[in-house]
Homo-oligomer: A and B are copies of this chain.
Amino acid sequence: MIYLDNAATSFPKPKEVYEAVDKCLREYGANPGRSGHKLALKAGRIIYETRELICQLFNIDNPMQIIFTYNATDSLNLAIKGILSKGDHVITSGMEHNSVIRPIKALEEIGVENTIVECDDEGIIKVDKLKSAIKKNTKLIAITHASNVTGSLMPIEKISKIAKENSILLLVDAAQTAGVYNIDVKKMNIDLLAFPGHKGLMGPQGTGALYIREGIKLRHMKEGGTGSKSESLLQPEIIPDRYESGTPNTPGIAGLGAGIKYILNIGIDNIRKHEEELTEYMINGLEKINEVIIYGPKDIKRKASVISINIGDLDSSEVSYILDQAFNIAVRSGLHCAPLAHKTLGTFEQGTIRFSIGYFNTKQDIDRALEAIKKICEEME
């Protein structure tokens, strides 16, 4: 199996990740932050260590500002609903995943306004349009770092400058970039950073996190046992407990920590370089196939390692089915949970076939994928 569906979940993981999960389950599978015995303390320690590793990766000072969640969707819901109240206005882009757009649309019901800013043909936000969308009551800009459909990288630093000038909070969805692109929350002026653990960060599914800049207080989405202030019937104020109720996914977080250690060890620039090279190599190959339409930027400096294509007017699901069945190549087809992006690209009906490259892919994988696409094109004739 050639796995080119890393934008959904990275696979495989470094073996250290499997080992960390297994070790946690077998050797110290107790409840962190509740009891005070040795196993519970060890479980609590691995969670704290993972917080520290995340801080190291994103240049965050205080590990307690990292909130562990179920997945990036959970993080995004907490951020969006934790910030916005009736009468507020939020700006987002026309390339967002449903994990950003659906919570924003749901908030219309309680009187939160939104503006969806147009993107260009390559799926990159029009910064002037963003500027002119700002209103007196704009409280938040919520935007993806890179599109999960085309990989189009958004100009986060330009956007954060505008946000700061207008005292608007900036929430970045790093689902496609965390672990591959350099994200420095200070330099990039990011107030809230949402990310999954199971994609670029190489951790297991069931992990995600939200970074909240110090001084920003969100509404909590859930209340429950926190192992702290047990005497109170109200959710505690202290962070991260305020936002983390119930038993966390300790083995998952242990695995996530191992994934991040692996990344820090290889060096994020080396990971990106490898993915960029393969992405460029694939785009070059695709450009030579007449029937292939490539969506989004072709310049590797303007996109992450996600390539969306169509083959003529073939149904994208059919092509992905053939790739799987006849060529043993795993990709994703359809709308990729991002309908707006497909309206931007003009692929709302056809969907796209998405090849998403990970650190463990090789040039041979790309060659095999290109050959398969060529064969499908030949069959078409």
Interface residues of A, Cβ cutoff 8 Å to B: 1, 3, 5, 8-9, 11-13, 17-18, 21-22, 25-26, 29-31, 34-40, 69-74, 76-77, 97-99, 101-103, 105-106, 196, 198, 204-208, 220-227, 230-235, 245-252, 255, 317, 320-321, 323-324, 328-340, 348
Note all chain B residues with C-beta closer than 8 A to A97: 224-225
The answer to whether B246 touches A72, judged by C-beta atoms less than 8 angstroms apart, is: yes
Complex Cα–Cα for A71 and B17 (A): 22
Note all chain B residues with C-beta closer than 8 A to A336: 230
Copies of this chain present = 2
Note all chain B residues with C-beta closer than 8 A to A196: 246-247
Complex Cα–Cα for A18 and B252 (A): 13
Complex Cα–Cα for A249 and B329 (A): 24
Note all chain B residues with C-beta closer than 8 A to A21: 21-22, 25, 251
Q: 10 smallest A-B Cβ distances: which pairs?
A: A206-B249, A73-B246, A225-B337, A73-B224, A102-B223, A99-B224, A8-B31, A37-B330, A71-B246, A230-B335
Note all chain B residues with C-beta closer than 8 A to A36: 317, 320-321, 324, 332-333
- Indicate whether A5 sits within 8 Å of B31 (C-beta atoms), given known contacts A99-B224, A231-B348, A235-B106: yes
Min Cβ gap A108→B in Å is: 10
The answer to whether B250 touches A205, judged by C-beta atoms less than 8 angstroms apart, is: yes
Complex Cα–Cα for A334 and B101 (A): 43
Complex Cα–Cα for A12 and B22 (A): 12
- Report the nearest B residue to A148, measured CB to CB: B225
Which of A70, A72, A339, A340 is packed against the most chain B CB atoms within 10 Å? A70
The answer to whether A38 touches B1, judged by C-beta atoms less than 8 angstroms apart, is: yes
A-B contact pairs, 10 of them (CB 8 A): A9-B31, A13-B29, A21-B21, A29-B205, A73-B245, A98-B224, A99-B225, A99-B246, A196-B247, A233-B340
Note all chain B residues with C-beta closer than 8 A to A1: 37-39
Min Cβ gap A23→B in Å is: 10
The answer to whether A223 touches B330, judged by C-beta atoms less than 8 angstroms apart, is: no
Min Cβ gap A223→B in Å is: 4
- Report the nearest B residue to A72, measured CB to CB: B246
Min Cβ gap A265→B in Å is: 20
- Report the nearest B residue to A19, measured CB to CB: B22
Which of B9, B13, B25 sits near A13, CB closer than 8 Å?
B25
- Indicate whether A102 sits within 8 Å of B233 (C-beta atoms), given known contacts A5-B35, A9-B247, A31-B9: yes
Complex Cα–Cα for A14 and B22 (A): 13
